[in-house]
Amino acid sequence: MSNTARGYAAKNGSNKLELMEYQLKNLEANEVEIDIDHCGVCGTDVSYINNKFGTTNYPFIGGHEIVGRITKMGSRITDFNLGTKVGVGFFRGFCNKCSHCHDENENLCSLKEPTIASNGGFSNRIRVQANACVPIPDGLDYAKVSPLLCAGITVFSPLVEYNVSSMSKVAVIGVGGLGHVALMFLKKWGCEVTAITSTKSKATDAKTFGADKVIGTYDEKEQQKFSQYFDMIFYTIEEDLQWNNLLDLVAPNGRLHFLGLPKQEISFNILNLLRFQKTISASIVGSPKRMFEMLKFASKHQVLPVTEQFHFSKINEAIRKLEANELRYRAVLSWNL
């Protein structure tokens, strides 16, 4: 009985997730079992549910913003206690042998295993490698932690990786699930923060989250005032933009950094880069060590995503709102509402 779990599965040809029971794999010596309390719903889950990348195996159980308590430990686990509250993000395991794993950059391991590669967090119980788990610091609102484990680490990691400082001028394109968390972290990081949005109605929200300024993507005149201005621009949406115009907004030695996937492949005029030593880069999430730093920072500065809470049984409604762009701003599922 204790090897059984239940989760909300997408099945081939159906657009509704349904509750399914399944057997958990044996608990390995380096794994823990987690009783799940909350799990966030991320756009990536929905992409896999809809087989956007053509690689989804059905029945598919998504969910990679897992928050819960450790209820079982493999024989080699010494650094956790039963009952410890932990988070698990996009990866549930690593090879633990390669140079990236040894350097605590496990997110760069070529054998890393995505949490949703097998039954993920839209469930009541999961077994993952212990070193994929991050303890949740006291002082964070437990019900709001989930989106930090994907959206939060995605925007926090480049701040450390690329030495963004409190003197930096940073723009965030998009005020959505990812963008609103980016604005919050950047404000607390001490940066001058600008939101760039196509949605006029989000200007007030953007300022609440920490934007000092808001620019419309539709407002080319206003954008011209920010030529060569931003040390870092975070792209957090999925729309195609005027890429060379956007590069003009990047300051000398500055960086355009992709955290979202544009619809089309992109071409740039390299002259726009080399004349002022500009960089284009991209990343997703970060290592467990970096996730722990991020959670401690979020706890200290009370960076908390704006969430809508749903009981797990309302998962289809949460996904419908996400797809209709109606969420303000991230959905979190809970067994205890």
Sort 1 into a burial class: Cβ within 10 Å, 0-12 / 13-18 / 19+.
Answer: exposed
Which residue is listed with tokens 């797809």? 323
Instruction: Output the six-digit token pair for 331.
Output: 């959905």
Q: How far apart are CA 122 and CA 69, in angstroms?
A: 15
Window of 12-20, 50-58, 150-158, 209-217 that interacts with Zn ion by CB under 5 A:
150-158
Window of 53-61, 94-102, 129-137, 211-219 that interacts with Zn ion by CB under 5 A:
94-102
318, 319, 322, 324 alpha-carbon torsion, rounded to 10°: -110
Tell me: does residue 98 bind Zn ion (CB under 5 A). yes
Window of 91-99, 140-148, 200-208, 250-258 that interacts with Zn ion by CB under 5 A:
91-99
Among 95, 271, 282, 337, binds Zn ion (CB under 5 A): 95
Sort 277 into a burial class: Cβ within 10 Å, 0-12 / 13-18 / 19+.
Answer: exposed
Tell me: does residue 150 bind Zn ion (CB under 5 A). yes
Residue type, 168: S
Site size toward Zn ion, by CB under 5 A? 8
Q: Is 102 or 200 the residue whose CB approaches Zn ion more closely?
A: 102
Interface characters, 105-144, with Zn ion (x: CB under 5 A): ----x-----------------------------------
Interface characters, 31-70, with Zn ion (x: CB under 5 A): -----------x-x--------------------------
Q: What's the closest the beta carbon of residue 83 comes to Zn ion, in angstroms?
A: 27
Q: Is 36 or 150 the residue whose CB approaches Zn ion more closely?
A: 150
Which residue is listed with tokens 């053509």? 54
Q: What's the closest the beta carbon of residue 252 comes to Zn ion, in angstroms?
A: 33
Tell me: does residue 159 bind Zn ion (CB under 5 A). no
Q: Is 5 or 150 the residue whose CB approaches Zn ion more closely?
A: 150
Strand boundaries in 89-157, DSSP class E: 91-93, 113-114, 125-129, 133-135
Residue 277: CA count within 13 A, CB half-sphere: 3
Q: Is 70 or 109 the residue whose CB approaches Zn ion more closely?
A: 109
What is residue 57's DSSP assignment?
A: P
Give how far Cα 221 sits from Cα of 56, 120, 212, 215, Å: 44, 46, 19, 10
Q: What's the closest the beta carbon of residue 287 comes to Zn ion, in angstroms?
A: 11
Instruction: Output the six-digit token pair for 235.
Output: 């792209």
- Which residues of this protein are in contact with Zn ion, per CB under 5 A? 42, 44, 94-95, 98, 101, 109, 150
